[in-house]
């Protein structure tokens, strides 16, 4: 049993070790801590890949080891590695507190991993809080920047509110069924008004975590105020963790014939795609643009859960993985530009195509993938999501998603236009650190490769969602 839990155990131990090193070696050995963190995460990643069980239920249903959880664990670990590699130079801004930064990153990853495998609502809630509390600290990590402190306080207040709503929904489910184990809830549910309230509350709680409209109000300010590497990780891994848990909860426990929560979610997904993309059109700050883009991407992903069929669920997993590479690639370029200019304004990307052709190429490919332009990976992910919606009878939702994807091309290409025909007072660009260059190459190559040859990831995601298709 313990061998199946080794990824979680090693991640927790590594987080404690990194925090202890911060106490033992204050302000020293920061490069060593970074190397240790990346090496540890790579080791855990290989271990997560090696554990290939179809399904193992532990602790009387409280925790589940299966292909679905394994997929998301690999996603979270990959995202964390890429964020750390791409921001090696940026973390120097946290002088004296770099070890603690990596420690909280590891605890956030641990919370995400447990969320993906939680087979019990209380286990899920505890893992969610571990992840969220770590992010409260990381968002406010730049102590000398007012926007960072403000973002941390806003995230704390709104995050606590959403957690309370989610916990209230969980308490209602327990009151009605006498259990919080997901595999037992479905068979004990009966038609009661309190049950409908519980489902709506849980949907609202998850809606906040993945930034569905109207629960998105925290996203733009927190994304803009947080350190840019934290924003990148929050936009990708946190969203994927919330979605992973949401799919398991609703598919496993709330297949209700008397209450159509899928229609409610479809309306929320439509609003999220529409408002996220339309507001992104007028943004002049790259972090706010990617924030509203991230909100729109949550709408696309929610379409897969609305469909709740093979194409839809496979699309969620496929798009979540390719979103990691496309979004982190875009943020990795933004990190380099902020290091150079000290700003996140889109106009500061001027002449990047001339000053650093590699960075401009990575940003262009990643943004076009987010827009769903073929033959990049984002196109394949959206194809699965919208095909699932059509198959499930939500043609109107697929049409809205397709229309909004076309609109998103405008604001993504606006960034590309600035990079290639904009102006900049600078003629050169600083050298990119080897670790950041490696992360950028990984994002670029996989975004292209998985678009041209999606079969391996398609096969993997198909195997991961089999347990929900019966």
The pLDDT tens digits along the chain (470 residues) read: 677 888 899 999 999 998 888 777 665 666 778 888 889 999 999 988 888 666 778 888 888 888 899 999 999 999 999 988 887 777 776 766 777 888 889 999 999 999 998 889 999 999 999 999 998 888 887 777 777 778 888 888 888 888 899 999 999 989 888 888 888 887 787 777 888 888 899 999 999 888 888 887 787 888 877 887 888 888 888 888 999 999 999 888 887 666 778 899 999 999 999 999 999 998 888 888 888 888 999 999 999 999 888 899 999 999 999 999 998 888 888 888 887 777 778 888 888 888 888 988 999 999 999 998 989 998 999 999 999 999 988 999 999 999 999 999 999 999 899 888 878 777 777 778 888 889 899 999 999 999 999 999 999 998 888 887 76
Comparing CA positions, the residue from 27, 138, 38, 100 lying closest to residue 435 is 38
Comparing CA positions, the residue from 273, 18, 290 lying closest to residue 134 is 18
Cβ proximity of 404 and 296 under 8 Å: yes
pLDDT of residue 124: 92
* DSSP helix/strand/coil, 351: coil
pLDDT of residue 35: 83
Q: How far from the centroid of its chain's Cα atoms is residue 414's Cα?
A: 24
pLDDT of residue 28: 60
Cβ count within 10 A of residue 193? 7
pLDDT of residue 100: 82
- Tell me the two tokens of residue 265: 């979610």
**Which residues in 185-250 belong to E strands, given as ranges?**
none
pLDDT of residue 101: 83
Cβ proximity of 8 and 111 under 8 Å: no
205 vs 420: CA distance, rounded Å: 42
pLDDT of residue 383: 93
pLDDT of residue 21: 80
Cβ count within 10 A of residue 202? 25
Placement of tokens 């076009």 in the chain: 368
386 vs 398: CA distance, rounded Å: 5
pLDDT of residue 194: 84
pLDDT of residue 366: 92
Placement of tokens 């403000």 in the chain: 150
| Domain boundaries of the chain, sorted by first residue | 260-469
């Amino acid at each position: 049993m313990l061998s199946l839990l080794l990824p979680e155990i090693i991640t927790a131990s590594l987080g404690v070790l990194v925090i202890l090193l911060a106490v033992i070696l204050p302000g020293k050995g920061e490069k060593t801590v970074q190397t240790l963190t990346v090496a540890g995460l790579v080791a855990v990643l290989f271990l997560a890949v090696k554990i290939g069980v179809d399904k193992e239920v532990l602790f009387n249903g409280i925790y589940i080891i299966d292909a679905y959880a394994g997929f998301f664990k690999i996603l979270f670990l990959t995202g964390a590695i890429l964020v750390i590699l791409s921001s090696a130079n940026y973390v120097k801004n946290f002088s004296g507190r770099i070890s603690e930064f990596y420690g909280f990153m590891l605890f956030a990853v641990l919370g995400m991993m447990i969320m993906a495998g939680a087979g019990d609502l209380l286990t899920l809630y505890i893992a969610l809080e571990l992840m969220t509390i770590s992010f409260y600290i990381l968002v406010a990590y730049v102590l000398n920047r007012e926007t960072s402190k403000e973002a941390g306080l806003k995230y704390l207040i709104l995050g606590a509110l959403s957690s309370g709503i989610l916990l209230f929904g969980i308490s209602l489910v327990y009151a009605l069924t006498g259990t919080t184990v997901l595999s037992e809830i479905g068979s004990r549910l009966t038609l009661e008004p309190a049950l409908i309230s519980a489902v709506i509350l849980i949907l609202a709680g998850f809606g906040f975590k993945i930034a569905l409209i109207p629960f998105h109000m925290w996203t733009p300010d927190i994304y803009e105020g947080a350190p840019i590497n934290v924003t990148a990780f929050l936009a990708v891994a946190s969203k994927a963790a919330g979605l992973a848990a949401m799919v398991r909860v609703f598919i496993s426990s709330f297949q209700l014939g008397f209450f159509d929560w899928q229609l409610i979610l479809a309306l929320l997904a439509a609003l999220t795609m529409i408002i996220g993309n339309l507001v992104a059109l007028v943004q002049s700050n790259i972090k706010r643009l990617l924030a509203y883009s991230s909100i729109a991407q949550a709408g696309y992903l929610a379409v897969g859960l609305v469909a709740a069929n093979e194409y839809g669920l496979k699309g969620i997993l496929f798009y979540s993985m390719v979103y990691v590479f496309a979004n982190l690639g875009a943020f990795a370029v933004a990190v380099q530009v902020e290091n150079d200019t000290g700003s996140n304004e889109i106009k500061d990307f001027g002449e990047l195509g001339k000053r650093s052709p590699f960075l401009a190429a990575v940003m262009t490919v990643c943004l076009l993938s987010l827009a769903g332009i073929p033959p990049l990976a984002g196109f394949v992910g959206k194809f699965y999501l919208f095909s699932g919606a059509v198959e499930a009878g939500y043609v109107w939702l697929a049409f809205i998603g397709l229309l909004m994807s076309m609109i998103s091309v405008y604001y993504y290409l606006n960034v590309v236009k600035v990079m290639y025909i904009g102006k900049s007072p600078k003629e050169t660009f600083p050298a990119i650190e080897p670790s950041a260059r490696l992360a950028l190459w990984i994002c670029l190559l996989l975004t292209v490769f998985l678009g041209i040859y999606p079969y391996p990831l398609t096969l993997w995601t198909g195997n991961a969602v089999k347990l929900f298709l019966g």
